[in-house]
Amino acid sequence: MARESIVLLKNQDNVLPLPKSSSVFLTGPSADNVGYQCGGWTKFWQGVSGNDMFKNGISMRKGMETLVGKDSFTYFNGLLINGSISNANLTQAVELAGRHEYTIAAIGESTYTEKPGDIDDFALPKGFKEFIKALAATGTKVIVVLIEGRPRLLGSIPDNAAAIIDAMLPCELGGQAIAEILYGDVNPSGKLPITYPKDPANAAIPYNHLVTTRCAFNYCQMQWDFVSV
């Protein structure tokens, strides 16, 4: 199910699938966190972060290690799920990105459900956007993997990413499915079950059909339309 539900939103110059021998740097707060892959109502009401409570869980990092070997990529992360990162960790991440042809950045949301998960700002934390921009500035091809339970606004991220995958909440075995898609063992066949908004002006929209309303005096430009990708 995880393999079939993951959506490839962007694939500039067919950067994906990656050759299994390629030079890859893996980073991001969701790259090694099965709890984030599962979201709320997993183990506990608000879910749980981390891997310890998922005996059979496979994070992205573990999925890639199984598929291509742990020596086939470099892993480092200092970015927190709220978008904050220390100057030292940012410097190290940028340095590592510059050494590799491809950088996979797994970002998104922490676990949540119901009222405690309500948000007033649809945008992903500013720190995520700055992080992706800093990585891309090194010349590495950035591949963004979104682990999220709702379509968070991406801002400048699509402009700085060579490829974007929306894995949504693929849960325990999601890391295996994502790795298989990244390296071409599985073709990403999922279609967007929502219209993905581009800015706050068009966030309150019907989720299950194409948008035909108008934003102010002009058509609402979306990030991606329902089932278009």
Question: Which amino acid is located at 174 in the chain?
Answer: G
Whether pLDDT at 68 is above 80? yes
Q: What's the distance, CA 199 to chain centroid?
A: 18
Bridge partners of 123? 153
Look at residues 121, 101, 114, 131 and name the one whose alpha carbon lies nearest to residue 30. Answer: 131
Q: Which pLDDT tens digit goes with each residue over 205-226?
A: 555 655 555 565 566 778 888 7
The whole-model pTM stands at 0.91
- Residue-level pLDDT at 209: 55
Question: Which amino acid is located at 23 in the chain?
Answer: S
DSSP track, 33-82: -HHHHH-SSBSBTT---SSTT-TT---HHHHHHHHH-GGGEEE-----TT
Grade residue 120 by pLDDT with cuts at 50, 70 and 90.
confident
Mean pLDDT for 58-74 is 97
Whether pLDDT at 157 is above 70? yes
Which of 130-144, 180-194, 203-217 bottoms out in mean pLDDT, i.e. has the lowest?
203-217
Residues of the chain with CATH 3.40.50.1700: 2-190
Cβ atoms of residues 111 and 40 within 8 Å: yes
Whether pLDDT at 203 is above 70? no
- Residue-level pLDDT at 194: 86
- Residue-level pLDDT at 217: 57
Mean pLDDT for 69-97 is 97
Pick the CATH number of 2-190 from 3.40.50.1700, 3.30.70.100, 2.60.40.350, 3.40.50.300: 3.40.50.1700
- Residue-level pLDDT at 208: 61
Mean pLDDT for 52-60 is 94
